[in-house]
Amino acid sequence: MKRTSKIFICIVLILVALILATRGSFLSVSDTIRAFFKNVLRAGSMGSEIAKLSAENTLLKSRIESETYKADEPYHGRRTRVYSRYPSNDRSVFTIAAGGDDGMETGAPVITKDGMLIGKISDVRRTQSDVLTIFSPNWRSSAGIGASRVRAVLQGGGTPKLDLIPKEGKISEQDVVFNLSPEYPLDAYIGNIKTVYMSGDGVWQNAELRTPYELQDVDFVFVLVDFP
């Protein structure tokens, strides 16, 4: 009888131990599950906050890029996108997404993102404007060449040329070409000398201009809205 009682007590103790162990495991698993879902909810909330911040950042960036900015010069440039005319290869004129409602005015200088003179506003509509470029045969302006500021006339065209360069002027290939016309910012970079040759009558030097960009790759420009 005593032996049976001892066996019974041992069995009861083992069962109690198993129940307690199982309960502990259950609590541990339960806590783990609760912690997991808590972290999931927290991550979801964090993801929502990140998405919100990302959207706000995108909006702020678009506002900054669309508004007027102040350059080092004493005038302001308004950033505006350029319409594509693909597959047309006419480089004389391009259209920008800004017009009279945006403060555009005929004659306003237009520069690239690198500060290079590329053209001027030639026609203004309510929400669009046309830009006459230095690649137009109708473009003609005063220019300077190199450190000695040799005078020349920039004649627009498919390949812009520099005419009426004094014969004694010391110029060479790769010399910098910059603006001297009062209609545009003084010393604005235009391009570099590509080739130099003498005029047919031997009185003047002529040169071809090279720009470090392709017009079809220009996707936005700055219009100097308060020049001069």
Residues 62, 74, single domain; the answer is no
Q: Is 58 domain-assigned?
A: yes
**Confidence (pLDDT) at 135:** 96
The answer as to whether 228 is a domain residue is no
pLDDT of residue 176: 95
Q: pLDDT tens, 72-108?
A: 556 788 999 999 888 888 899 999 999 999 999 999 9
The total domain count for the chain is: 3
The residue type of 75 is Y
Spans of the chain, pLDDT less than 50? 2, 16, 20, 22-27, 29, 33, 40, 58-71
Same domain, 21 and 33: yes
Tell me the C-alpha distance between 66 and 59, whole Å. Answer: 11
Q: Is 189 inside a domain boundary?
A: yes
Structural domain includes residue 129: yes
The CA angle 106-111-115, to the nearest 5 degrees, is 150
93 & 53 share domain:
no
Tell whether 61 and 74 lie within a shared domain. Answer: no
Distance CA 203, CA 85 (A): 40
Per-residue pLDDT at 151 = 96
Same domain assignment for residues 81 and 129: yes
Sequence-separated (6 or more) residues with CB below 8 Å from residue 176: 145, 146, 189, 192
pLDDT tens digits for range 161-182: 999 999 999 999 999 999 999 9
Task: State residue 121's pLDDT score.
Answer: 97
Amino acid at 223: V
- Last residue in a domain, options 11, 34, 66: 66
Confidence at residue 39, expressed as pLDDT on a 0 to 100 scale: 57
User: Given CA atoms 4, 6, 8, 11 in this order, what sign does their dihedral have?
Assistant: negative
C-alpha dist (Å) from residue 207 to 34, 44, 119, 168:
78, 64, 20, 14
Pair 55, 74 in one domain: no
Residues 25 and 85 in one domain: no
* Contact call for residues 227 and 108 (beta carbons, < 8 A): yes
* Separation of alpha carbons 113 and 110, rounded Å: 10
pLDDT at 79: 93
The reported pLDDT for the residue numbered 61 is 46
Residues spanned by the domain of 8: 1-66
Of 66, 98, 113, the residue at which a domain comes to its end is 66
**Residue 205 identity (one-letter amino acid):** Q
Q: Measured between alpha carbons, how far is residue 60 from residues 48, 120, 154, 213 in Å? A: 18, 29, 40, 29
Residues 27 and 20 sit within 8 Å (Cβ to Cβ): no
- What pLDDT, on the 0 to 100 scale, is given for residue 187? 92
Domain harbouring 124, CATH code: 2.40.10.340
Beta strand segments in the chain, E = 68-70, 76-81, 93-96, 109-111, 117-124, 129-133, 140-145, 150-155, 161-166, 176-179, 189-198, 204-210, 220-224
